[in-house]
Structure 1
Amino acid sequence: MKVLYTTSARSDHNGRDGGRSGTVDGHFSVKLDLPKELGGAGGPGTNPEQLFATGYAACFMGALRFVAGKEKVALPEDASVTATVGIGPRDDGAGFGLDVALAVALPGIEHARAEDLVAKAHIVCPYSEATRKNLDVRLSVV
């Protein structure tokens, strides 16, 4: 693979429980807090699952735009991707796993055509490729 872009991020020693994470170049920085559901205080900071959901939604929209462009389909201005990410103990008891669902809204595009575009975007999207065979990503057109 020919790498076209690289970035690096760092998290401090507190990690997801009151720590800070951000890009090494300083373009992005965020305070982290552990949600109450995971035993934390549920402070105002974000968490890795929110960051993953945000990244996946943006990446999938990029893949969808790429596929639609190749097929000469104009995406509506109000098109959106909502990524829902859950975390919990794995069934094998050895650690934690993620649960991911992507809900894609393509108003004005016939449902079957929208489903086809979403399926093709799932092949193109690097986040989808990274998760393939590791977790089941549920896709829906809403």
Structure 2
Amino acid sequence: MTIAVEKVLYTARATAEGGRDGRTATDDGKLDVTVAPPKEMGGTGDGTNPEQLFAAGFASCFHSALKLVARKARQDSEGSTVTAVVGIGPINGGAGYGLEVALEVSLPGVERAAAEELVAKAHEVCPYSNATRGNLKFTLTVV
């Protein structure tokens, strides 16, 4: 199922040179990073990698969604955190690669059942969740 954006509110633009072993930067200069394969994948590990960038983006986006739904529900999201764990590995007998994502959410000021409900609602709101739903192994845990 394709999700159509009704109105684009913001567009990010980044350019990569050298793929997994090079440089990636946004057109506004706010992000400019050296990219290198991790040692676990035969690289030097001397830079960030696409999985780390994806994890950072997913965690930040999901946390914003969580704070939004918590505010609407009049719940305290103070001190909350979201940790994204992104794994990469072979799929289709080694014909390609795929990702898996686990989100670990902490809402210390909220009772567990309410926290689980907020996290489920955030998963419906978050653009990263909507973009990846049904496309990768996904685990969502309230810690």
TM-score, with length taken from structure 1: 0.93
Q: CA deviation at 1:92?
A: 4.3
In structure 2, the partner of 1:116 is 117
Q: Which runs of 5+ in 1 are unaligned?
A: none
Matches within 5 A, 1:69-108: 69-76=71-78, 78-108=79-109
2:50 aligned with 1:32, yes or no?
Answer: no
Describe the superposition over 1:63-122 as per-residue Cα deviations: whole angstroms up to 9, x where unpaired: 00111121121212x210000001000144320000110000011211010000000000
What is the rounded CA distance, in whole Å, between the counterparts of 1:69 and 1:42 in structure 2?
Answer: 39
Which residue identity is paired with 2:8? V
Identical positions, percent: 59
- Equivalent residue runs for 1:49-64 within 5 Å: 49-64=51-66
RMSD: 1.0
The structure in which a higher percent of residues are strand is 2
2-structure distance, mates of 1:136, 1:124: 19
Point out where structure 2 has 5 or more consecutive residues left out of the alignment.
1-5
Q: Answer with 86-95 or 55-64: which moved more.
A: 86-95
Q: What amino acid maps onto 2:19 in structure 1?
A: G
TM-score (norm 2): 0.92
1:6-45 equivalences under 5 Å are 6-12=11-17, 14-17=18-21, 19-43=22-46, 45=47
Give the aligned partner of residue 142 of structure 2: 141
